[in-house]
Homo-oligomer: A and B are copies of this chain.
Amino acid sequence: MWNISGKIAQEGDMVQLVGLRHKSFIVNLKIDAELHTHRGIVKHNNLIGLPYGSKIYSHNGAPFFLVIPSIAEVLLDLKRSTQILYPKDIGFLLINLGIGPGQHVVEAGTGSGGMTTALAFAVGREGKVTTYEQRVEFQNLARKNLARLGLDDSVDFKLRDIADGFDEKNVDAFFLDVQNPYDYIEQVRECLKPGGFFGCLVPTTNQVSRLLIALRMNKFAFIDVVEVLLRYYKPEPERLRPTDRMVAHTGFLVFGRPMISDSELEEPLEGEIELSESEQVDE
C-alpha cells in the first residue's frame, strides 16, 4: 500500500497536490520529475522532504497543498475506461458486505479496478481479493492501477468468462459488477459460503427486476435494494445551504445472502418446551 501514515514526503510516496477549488493531482514522487498543471509547474524535488500539509507554490505562484490522498480520493483518480464507482457506493458496499481485514472476497468483473482497489485496501495484507475479468485490456489497466498503489500483492487477477463459474468456494463475500448480473447468480451461489454476502450495482430498474428474480430462484434471502444519495452543502457558516446541483443517480445497490434450502437440511429441529436459565431476548 502507499505510504499512508507518513509525516514527511519521501521519494516513492504517492502524494496529492490540491490547488484552488479543490482541483487535485495525485502523483508518485520521483527525483527530478515535474508536475505540469494549467496553473504552472511543480518540481518533485521541491516536495521531497516537506512535511505533509505544507502549502507550496507552482513556478508561477499558484498555491497547492501537499497531502496524502485518502482511499476515496485515490478511487476518484483511477485511470479508467469503464463506468466510475463512487466512494458513496463503495463505502456502503464495504460495510454491508462486512468487508474487513483478513477476509477473502471475490469480484467480477474487474473493470478498471476501482472496487478491486477498495476491496484490497479494506482486507489488508492478511486478506485476499480474487477478481475475474474477461477482457484482457481491462485486466491490464486494473493491474497497473493496483500496482501503482502497492495493492496488487493481495489481489489474484483471473481472466475468464464467468459463465464458466468461479474456482473459489465458501468465500465470505462476492461483489458482482457486470451488465447482466442476473445471468450469473447460480455461479455466484456456488462460490459463496452459505450466509455469505452478495452485493451488486446496476444502473436501471429493469436490471433490478431481473436480478431480483434470479436471486429468488437461487434461494437468496435478506434481499435489499437501495440507493445511496449524497447531499452536499456550501460550507458558508452565515449562508448555509445545499449545493444547487447534486449527483442524482449512480446505481441501485442490490444485496442478498444465499441460504441452505430446506431440502438440503435435516429435519426441523425438535424444540423443547421447558425453559432454562439463559439469555432472554424480547422480540
Chain A interfacial positions (CB closer than 8 Å to B): 1, 4-5, 7, 18, 22-23, 25, 27, 32-44, 46, 51-61, 65-72, 87-88, 90-98, 100-104, 118, 121-126, 170, 172, 193-197, 203-206, 208-210, 212-213, 216, 221-249, 252, 257-262, 265, 268-273, 275-276, 278-283
Contact A260 B54 (CB under 8 A): yes
Closest B residue to A70 by CB, please name it: B98
Say what secondary structure dominates the interface of chain A.
mixed
Contact A68 B195 (CB under 8 A): yes
Write 20 A-B pairs (CB below 8 A) sorted by A numbering.
A4-B102, A18-B222, A34-B279, A35-B279, A52-B195, A53-B258, A53-B260, A55-B260, A66-B195, A68-B98, A70-B96, A70-B97, A100-B124, A101-B126, A205-B240, A209-B238, A216-B237, A244-B247, A245-B247, A246-B248
User: If the complex has contacts A170-B7, A271-B59, are A95 and B118 also in contact, measured as CB distance less than 8 A?
Assistant: yes
CA distance A57 to B269 in the complex (A): 6
CB distance from A207 to the nearest CB of B (A): 8
CA distance A242 to B224 in the complex (A): 11
Closest B residue to A38 by CB, please name it: B283
CA distance A112 to B88 in the complex (A): 25
User: If the complex has contacts A95-B72, A282-B38, are A100 and B4 also in contact, measured as CB distance less than 8 A?
Assistant: yes
Contact B103 A4 (CB under 8 A): yes
